Structure 1
Amino acid sequence: MLKKKMIMEKALDLFAKQGFEATSVQQITDYCGISKGAFYLSFKSKDELILGIIDYFMEQITSDIDYIVKGTSDEEDILYLYYHAMFDSFYKHSDFAKIFIKEQMQSVNKELIGKFHYYDSLMDKSILALIERLYGEEVEHIKYDLVYCVKGLANVYSTLFLFNDVPLDVNLLSRSLVEKTNILAKHTTVPFVSQEHLQMFHQPMTEEVTKESILEMLEQIIDEMEESIEKESLILLKEQLLERTLSPAIVRGLLENIRNHSHCKWISYLLRQHFEI
């Protein structure tokens, strides 16, 4: 897994400079300092590599947003932190996003659409939880509509720096969108999106996340990581997954130990869902 991350990070540099089509597997392996055989042990093709990069980015932001919604103690900060995390991530990876949108990725479009449906459904759940926590029963009749308002604001404003090279002040933009969202929450009276719409928009998961699949992922990460507090925490979390002996407070502490490690973000997200923390 760590080798796969290295290949993705190196390949991303080349994609940003040359585009997807102009970048060959040979160029990627030369840039990574590995053989083609080593590349194909990690990825079956360049298309699979690109999908892996998309997975990596979406897993990072999905995990971050979930942590903000569940882990922020001051409710007044949640919405600001959500917008800040979204735009900060977009800004850091804007070169990849521009190339991706420009080249459209026709050769992997069907699988790509499935991935976006999956991550979109996870994001909707996090935004809905954010709205319910922030506004409560006051927005019960419009909360599903608000989910799409929040997503729409983030998507539209991201185009400012993706396509127009507008300087980005993440703090100012986040504060501005918090104000707009609060106005919508307070004054919207005619919602369009309902719970039924939300369920209809989302496709079923293509691959079920099971206890066994989480355990397999844990074992792979543990095997590849060097000795560290993160590795020790992962070992304890694996034991907790097999047999629950630790208190919720200790599990939260172990998850806190790993959540900022780039190789552990997605597994920390899956474990938070599994342990309902």
Structure 2
Amino acid sequence: MSKKQLIMEKATELFAKQGFEATSIQQITEQCGISKGSFYLSFKSKDELIMEMLDHFFMEVTAETDQLVNSSKNDANLLFKFYKLMFHFFAKHADFAKVLIKEMPHSLNQELLIKSRTYDVQTSKNILDMVESIYGEKVEATKFDLVYCIKGFLRIYSELFLFYEVELDMDLLCQSLVEKTDSLAKHSNIPFITEELEFYLKNADKIGDSKEEVLALINKQAEEMEDPVVRKSLEMLRKDVLEPSLPLAVRRGLVENVRVHADGKWLALVLDKWFEGTGTAPH
């Protein structure tokens, strides 16, 4: 085992017990039986160590899911194999999986959050490819919801063996989740995650950072919108983005006009973000 591998292994054990913030480089080096100088020869900082661990974990699981989905698209057992692969991977890397589940929702490290979201987008894409391969046009309207359900199943059920150390029959668990997923695919008819909202969620860190981007999105939506109330609301909001003058109550009402329309939900989120960033939030 190389020194870098030793550091990552021992750091993972400490992070799982104490979390990122509470674990010091001193504790890591003591656990490894090395000097701080040896640590800094491998990593410039604790943050760099965490980033490399995150890369290692997600690159491995992404490679495995890529290979499975791309090589088994006509396999009737693809979904079962996917669930089993993911749970096996979480069990194999139990300590780091625990860290991710406990730490990521509360992390203040923006670089870490952005990297994690990048990998999450890739995971979602693999699951979407699998969903489209298995269910085809039957789930065209609800496929993004199905992706979120599958990700939710993976997270919640993995906690049974990660945190509660319950003895599980993995084959039975995967069969049960395949049945649940099939039922959702067959009987769900009301979509919530639209393609537009999914696009916004994937690009939330990039969308709406400039006035030009917000105006371009408003103009595009207005051109495609048939509802006269929403079109008028977008026209008034466009003017307000250019030169804020509307009372908060009026702005709030206009944004809600956009939000209640099925095709306007994601744009309403962009507007929320924009007005909040300019100190004129409608909420």
TM-score, reference length from structure 2: 0.63
Letter matched to residue 178 of structure 1: V
Q: Does 1:114 align with 2:114?
A: yes
* Equivalent residues of 1:118, 1:204 under 8 A apart: no
Q: Distance in 2 between matches of 1:92 and 1:113?
A: 23
Look up the equivalent residue of 1:125 and give its one-letter code: K
**Is residue 2:74 matched to residue 1:80?**
no
The answer to whether the Cα contact below 8 Å between 2:107 and 2:113 also exists between their aligned partners in 1 is no
Whole-Å Cα distance in 2 between the matches of residues 123 and 204 of structure 1? 17
Shift of 1:198: 1.3
Quote the offset at 1:124 in angstroms.
0.8
Amino acid at match of 1:63: A
Q: 1:117, 1:203 within 8 Å by CA — same for their partners in 2?
A: no
1:149, distance to aligned residue in structure 2 (A): 1.6
**Which residue of structure 2 lines up, in the alignment, with residue 178 of structure 1?**
178
Gaps of 5+ in 1: 207-277
Choose between structure 1 and 2 for higher RCO, CA contacts under 8 A separated by at least 6 residues.
Answer: 1
CA deviation vs aligned residue, 1:205-238 (integer Å, no higher than 9, x gap): 99xxxxxxxxxxxxxxxxxxxxxxxxxxxxxxxx
Deviation at 1:45, TM superposition (A): 1.3
What residue is the counterpart of 1:36 in the other structure? 36
The answer for the alignment partner of 1:51 in structure 2 is 51
Structure 2 residue 125 is the aligned partner of structure 1 residue 125: yes
Q: Is the 8 A contact 1:83 1:154 kept in 2?
A: yes
AA of the residue aligned to 1:60: E
Offset at residue 36 of structure 1 (A): 2.8
Contact 1:118–1:205 (CA<8 Å) still a contact in 2? no
Q: 1:103 to 1:146 in 2, by over 3 A?
A: closer
Distance in 2, matches of 1:105 and 1:176, equals 28
Deviates more, 1:126-135 or 1:161-170: 161-170
Q: How does 1:184-203 map to 2 (within 5 A)?
A: 184-203=184-203
- 1:75 match: secondary structure: coil
Aligned residues: 205
d(CA) in 2 for partners of 1:197 and 1:183?
24
Distance change >3 Å, CA 95–CA 149, structure 1 → 2? same
Query: Could you tell me the TM-score, scaled by structure 1's length?
Result: 0.64
RMSD: 2.8
Residue number in structure 2 paired with 1:165: 165
Contact 1:69 1:129 in 2 (8 A): yes
Question: CA, structure 1 residues 15+140, in 2 after alignment: closer, same or farther (shift >3 Å)?
Answer: closer
Give how far 1:77 is off.
1.8
Task: Evaluate the alpha carbon distance shift between residue 72 and residue 15 of structure 1 in structure 2; reply closer, same or farther with a 3 A threshold.
Answer: same
**2:72–2:78 Cα contact (<8 Å) kept:** yes
State the distance in 2 between where 1:21 and 1:89 align.
25
For residue 24 of structure 1, report the CA deviation from its aligned partner.
Answer: 3.5
Unaligned runs of 5+ in 2: 207-283
Q: 1:151 deviation in Å? A: 1.1
2: CA distance between counterparts of 1:87 and 1:166? Answer: 13
